[in-house]
């Protein structure tokens, strides 16, 4: 007994010290360079700024197809610097590249080289292929002749080039074909056989990262347009320091509320969960530093979701412990059985969401990839803290003598609620809301020309370069300049960037009419005595290109299919998977309806918001399905409707508590945040409420309808 007590004290000390160390590390860092501190995390353009480079095509009037192709290939290239890099068209023949987290424009320019200057040559220097003859280049993995996996780069040639290349390689097997970019040989592959079919493979890569880098360089070297640098400068954050400060304050307040709530409701287990959550935050911040992940608003959405899932895991565990105590088990036995029974729901819910995150990280681009990285990281850490750290802490508290069941609580006997009896009402409400959303989409299309209030990230807009008479600080821009602009545009989706070491500020808004431009010039002159002759404006394309939108849609579809297959496999019933996907679609459509009705700006965070709702929805669904599966196995002769109602009732507390804690985190962000942050937080709050409603009122009912319609009315 004394040994167990000593072991419990040791575990508590180790974990508390670890939490304290990680907290100190996050706040202050270590050493003179403050290694590991939260302020060293790479932040995106929206939060910290970076380098802006503008290229101009050597051809004065390029076609829109060539410009679109060039923008997309440059996007793929600069993503090697940051997943949050943005590339968009400016004016007729300019392309702007914005790369967060860096401050040396010359280094980026030198590294990028000269776009459009790639050739494939003979060993004597004769050009066989131009870069424009290469349609695409992608890293891949394949088996070599010995059956081992190797990383390669696959080149896809244009239809015009593949026949001549096939003929040449057939006559020159064994020769080297240097790939020359910007005057340097970047790869020197050997012709091993005739390359027919228009697809060539470069082997000999030491790592996937090396293959990815080579493929990206080949893509940029194969641009249809030749570019020349027009200007480069360092720009400040789009959202400004005030947005960052209030977001951090909101996160701290929301986190504190969640911890206090957990301790009040769950007592000793709640205290253990709070300590584990502090560890979670410290580990996440450390890993963001270690992996050099660029953090943006979509990334913050991923972290908020993973914190919600970490709290959810603890709520599931503690509810199980209380159920076991109520059933007559000792506290020690209840702790053991509680963790065991909660395991399947936690693992299935987290793995389902993790599958989606991995697919999005592999196939998505831009903000989708950044969201996926932080979500995947958060899920792994949340499972570790909930299933390992919390378990050790609860057992340690018990070992040192905190053994009275009053410290752990008892579950309340709940009368089973007839949720399925209200399914017709719930289905009707949902259908009306969704149809109403489509009606508003149509009305918006009729009145404004767009189904949603698309911001400049989707629709493009106007970039206005203003030279002020003094060096405006970020705080001054946020407090004084933005309200003036918003008064003219009637749109909170305004991005401002301060050009370092100048008095210039770049203002990006939706596309302004001629009258609005004149009004803006007049307002700037009246309020800030700006010389209007120095103001320049350019039309800019969307930063979220059609290709990026396509990649996002395809990756979400594939992620949904993968989640469906996993649920089908785990629950041995396609109806579980089908109803889960329908519930997920329900939540997405309801939030889309909110966007349509409220006319909230649809920008870069829209995709992250929808992905957060998908992850939140599927996790809530899995919890109920896990309880239905368990109850069906334990009471084989019970009526199916009774099983579903009882399962939803048993998980009702979990649904309420998890939704409340996640909602609090986002609500504080909404209350304290600047206008652009509120536009990000508001749809998330709607999504959380909708996810709670659908998990309780829709999910189980959908499965029951599918089950009974197929002729199976008994468990």
- Lookup: tokens for 325: 């105590």
Predicted local confidence at residue 74, as pLDDT:
82
H/E stretch holding 129 reads strand 127-130
Helix, strand, coil shares, percent, the chain, to 5: 60, 15, 25
Q: What percent of the chain has pLDDT over 70?
A: 91
Predicted local confidence at residue 33, as pLDDT:
64
Better-predicted residue by pLDDT, 443 or 605? 443
CA-based torsion, 217, 219, 220, 224: positive or negative: positive
Cα gap 678→5, rounded to integer Å: 49
Average pLDDT over residues 337-365: 86
What strand order describes the sheet that includes 127-130? 127-130, 118-121, 179-181, 184-187
Predicted local confidence at residue 226, as pLDDT:
79
Residues 141-187 have pLDDT tens digits of 887 777 778 888 999 988 888 888 888 888 888 889 999 987 888 88
pLDDT range class, residue 443, cuts 50, 70, 90? very high
Helices first, then strands: H and E counts in the chain? 23, 15
Cα gap 391→636, rounded to integer Å: 32
E strand residue ranges, 410-480: 461-467
pLDDT range class, residue 710, cuts 50, 70, 90? low
* Ramachandran quadrant class, 702 (left: phi over 0; alpha: psi -120 to 50; beta: rest): alpha
Residues 466-517 have pLDDT tens digits of 999 888 877 778 778 888 888 888 877 777 777 777 888 888 888 888 888 8
pLDDT at 597 over 90: yes
Predicted local confidence at residue 601, as pLDDT:
82
Residues 6+ apart with CB under 8 A from 291: 373, 377
**Nearest alpha carbon to residue 150 among 105, 79, 204:** 204
Q: At what angle do helices 675-697 and 241-266 cross, to 10 degrees?
A: 30
Predicted local confidence at residue 709, as pLDDT:
78
- Lookup: tokens for 66: 């060539």
Please check whether residue 507 is in contact with residue 499, taking contact to mean a CB–CB distance below 8 angstroms. Answer: no
Neighbours of 29 (CB within 10 A): 17
Q: Please give the radius of gyration of the chain, using alpha carbons only, rounded to the nearest integer.
A: 28
Cα gap 357→130, rounded to integer Å: 37
What is the set of domains in the chain, with CATH numbers?
2-42+240-407 (1.20.1640.10), 50-114+231-235 (3.30.70.3400), 118-222 (3.30.1360.200), 420-450+545-709 (1.20.1640.10), 461-540 (3.30.70.3400)
**Nearest alpha carbon to residue 46 among 389, 297, 299, 309:** 297
Residues 6+ apart with CB under 8 A from 514: none
CA-based torsion, 423, 429, 430, 435: positive or negative: positive
CA 413 to chain centre: 40
Residues linked to residue 140 through DSSP beta bridges, in sequence order: 152
Predicted local confidence at residue 713, as pLDDT:
44
Residues 74-111 have pLDDT tens digits of 887 787 777 677 788 887 888 888 887 676 767 777 66
Residues 531-548 have pLDDT tens digits of 988 888 888 877 776 767
Please check whether residue 257 is in contact with residue 668, taking contact to mean a CB–CB distance below 8 angstroms. Answer: yes
Predicted local confidence at residue 114, as pLDDT:
65
| Terminal alpha carbon distance of the chain | 46
Q: Are strands 118-121 and 134-143 parallel, antiparallel or unpaired?
A: unpaired
Query: Has this prediction a pTM greater than 0.95?
Result: no
Average pLDDT over residues 700-713: 79
């Amino acid at each position: 007994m004394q040994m167990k007590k000593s072991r419990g004290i040791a575990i508590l000390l180790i974990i508390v010290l670890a939490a304290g160390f990680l907290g100190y590390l996050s706040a202050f860092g270590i050493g003179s360079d403050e290694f590991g501190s939260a302020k060293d995390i790479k932040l995106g353009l929206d939060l910290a700024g970076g380098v802006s480079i503008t290229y101009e095509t050597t051809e004065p009037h390029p076609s829109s197809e060539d410009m679109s192709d060039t923008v997309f290939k440059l996007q793929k290239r600069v993503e090697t610097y940051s997943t949050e890099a943005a590339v968009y068209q400016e004016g007729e023949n300019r392309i702007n590249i914005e790369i967060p987290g860096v401050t040396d424009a010359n280094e980026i320019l030198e590294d990028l080289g000269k776009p459009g200057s790639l050739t494939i040559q003979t060993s004597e220097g004769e050009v066989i292929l131009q870069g424009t003859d290469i349609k695409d280049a992608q890293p891949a993995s394949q088996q070599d002749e010995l059956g081992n996996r190797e990383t390669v780069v696959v080149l896809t040639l244009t239809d015009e080039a593949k026949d001549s290349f096939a003929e040449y390689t057939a006559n020159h097997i064994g020769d080297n074909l240097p790939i020359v970019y910007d005057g340097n040989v970047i790869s020197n592959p050997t012709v091993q056989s005739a390359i027919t079919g228009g697809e060539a493979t470069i082997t000999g890569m030491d790592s996937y990262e090396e293959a990815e880098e080579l493929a990206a360089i080949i893509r940029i070297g194969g641009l249809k347009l030749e570019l020349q640098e027009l200007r480069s400068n360092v720009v400040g954050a789009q959202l400004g320091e005030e947005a960052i400060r209030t977001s951090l304050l909101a996160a701290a307040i929301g986190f504190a509320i969640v911890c206090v709530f957990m301790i009040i409701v769950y007592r000793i287990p709640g205290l253990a969960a709070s300590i584990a959550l502090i560890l979670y935050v410290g580990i996440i911040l450390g890993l963001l530093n270690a992996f050099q992940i660029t953090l943006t608003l979509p990334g913050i959405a991923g972290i908020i979701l993973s914190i919600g899932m970490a709290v959810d895991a603890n709520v599931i565990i503690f509810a199980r412990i209380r159920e076991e105590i109520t059933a007559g088990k000792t506290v020690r036995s209840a702790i053991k059985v509680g963790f065991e029974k909660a395991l399947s729901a936690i693992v299935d819910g987290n793995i389902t969401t993790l599958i989606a995150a991995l697919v999005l990280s592999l196939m998505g681009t831009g903000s989708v990839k950044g969201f996926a990285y932080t979500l995947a990281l958060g899920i792994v850490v949340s499972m570790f803290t909930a299933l390992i750290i919390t378990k050790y802490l609860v057992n340690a508290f018990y070992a040192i003598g905190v053994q009275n069941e009053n410290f752990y609580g008892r579950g309340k006997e709940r009368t089973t609620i007839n949720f399925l009896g209200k399914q017709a009402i719930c289905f009707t409400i949902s259908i009306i809301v969704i149809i109403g959303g489509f009606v508003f989409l149509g009305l918006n299309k009729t009145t404004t020309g767009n189904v949603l209030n698309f911001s400049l990230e989707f629709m493009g807009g106007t970039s206005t370069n203003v030279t002020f008479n003094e060096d405006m600080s970020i705080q001054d821009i946020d407090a004084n300049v933005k309200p003036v602009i918003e008064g003219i545009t009637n749109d909170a989706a305004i991005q401002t960037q301060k050009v370092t070491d100048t008095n210039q500020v770049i203002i990006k808004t939706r596309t302004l009419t001629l009258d609005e431009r004149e009004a803006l010039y007049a307002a700037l002159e009246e309020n800030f005595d700006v010389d209007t002759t120095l103001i320049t404006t350019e039309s800019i394309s969307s930063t979220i290109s059609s290709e990026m939108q396509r990649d996002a849609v395809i990756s979400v579809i594939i992620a949904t299919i993968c989640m469906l297959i996993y649920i089908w496999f785990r629950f041995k019933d396609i109806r579980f998977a089908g109803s889960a996907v329908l519930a997920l679609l329900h939540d997405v459509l309801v939030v889309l309806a909110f966007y349509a009705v409220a006319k909230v700006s649809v920008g870069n965070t829209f995709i992250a918001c929808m992905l957060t709702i998908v992850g939140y929805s599927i996790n809530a669904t899995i919890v109920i399905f896990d309880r239905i599966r368990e109850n069906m196995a334990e009471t084989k002769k019970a009526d199916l409707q009774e099983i579903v109602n009882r399962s939803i009732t048993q998980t009702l507390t979990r649904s309420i508590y998890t939704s409340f804690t996640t909602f609090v985190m986002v609500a504080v962000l909404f209350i304290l945040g600047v206008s652009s942050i509120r536009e990000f937080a508001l749809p998330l709050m709607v999504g959380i409420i909708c996810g709670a409603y659908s998990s309780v009122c829709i999910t189980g009912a959908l499965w029951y309808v599918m089950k009974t319609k197929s002729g199976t009315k008994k468990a």
